[in-house]
Structure 1
Amino acid sequence: MDPSRRILHSDMNSYYASVEMMLDPSLKGKPVAVCGSTEDRHGIVLAKSDLAKKAGVRTGMVNFEARNLCPGLIMVPPQCDQYLKYTKLAHQIYSRYTDLVEAFGMDECWLDVTGSAIYGTPLEIAESIRQTVKDELGLTVSICVSFNKIFAKLGSDMKKPDAITDIREENFRDRVWPLDVGELLYVGAATRAKLARYGIRSIGDLANASLEALQHMLGINGLKLWHYANGTDHLRVMHQDFISPIK
């Protein structure tokens, strides 16, 4: 691992629903779900507010199931043009601190602030971004500061909404290793189930597993996941102009 690297991962909280509540303040303090085909009982939930989530509403749930779980649920149709607009505005804020800004979906970004000391410490930069997004866009973000992309992504989910997490070289074993292995980026449901069959249930279990056994189970991906769990990956944050090649 490179102790000098400082990577931020910024995650816009309950993004679609938050944009809807920002655009229509009458929705604030109410359970809200952004749903496709709101006139159709077979439409699904695309995003939900924190109150809707607490009532059991999940992304991908059929609309009528969500309504049954949360009778007061307010369903609104998606406004994709608005989500794209605020994504672009958030990226403009990030680019004030570094040109190494890599999008991960519409609502998440990695930022490499290793060379951005002119703007303060990484934690000060994270706090400045958090406050600026709130002041200028009326939205909230959760940010993790870490020394690699994998832990930065994982850490931004630890405290929500509107919060900052710091995962360092000296504390990641205490903070990350006890977590379920499924919390690690690129460990999907099938991989999690396969690892569980071999007694690997936490990220720490994965970090301490035999490389030979992991390679036997998962091939080259097993080696990659071992490095991710041990904090020794060297994945770069791409430049803001980078366009991922079409597969």
Structure 2
Amino acid sequence: MKQEKGAEGFSENYWLENYADVDDMDGMYNARDHAHYLKAVFALDQIAIRSIADFGFGPGHLFSAALDTFKPYRSLGLEPSASAFIKAQTVLKRYQPQLLQTDLASWCRDSSQHKRFDLGICTSVLQYLNDQELAAVIPTLALRVKYLYLTVPTAAEQQRFVEEYQFVDQYAYSRTRQQYRELLSPHFTVVSSRLLESKQFYNDQTSDFTEDLFRF
């Protein structure tokens, strides 16, 4: 039984228990590497990224690195956890993004949020959404972002976290790789590692990612 609803954010204790050591956390200690990877992928195919949204920026490391690397003219960050939201403002304030203390599911339900972004960042968020929330969020994301940088642990990866690191995320839902692919594939095409392309914006004829072998 989950003590907190992860979709709506976590208490300060959760962040202290699970994210105290940033040296071990993907997307924190290597945030700049993630941003440089994205910059290189888009530069190779001459794709301009002028607007960015982060759909759960947590302590703000990856969002900050992406803003510093791409220097978008417009940016948005969502974070439902009050403690993380407050702390991240120090990291993010010099970039002046629009910051909303809200969760991804609520943002997707808000019809007034009609702006579209070139790049969305969604790292370690979807595992905290229930099936109904996922069914609503994924097609909405495809309408609002052209590209989505996505990480989400599958059931197999969650089991490996338990075996190798003794890390049990009691708030995360467990889904197989096949389940996630079935949810994503009607709305997104995988075009690179962790990078998805919205089918609402592109197809095989209009995409800038033209290497057909690597589109699935």
Q: State whether TM-score is above 0.5.
A: no
Give the TM interval when normalised to the shorter protein.
under 0.3
TM-score normalised by the chain length of structure 2: 0.28
TM-score normalised by the chain length of structure 1: 0.25
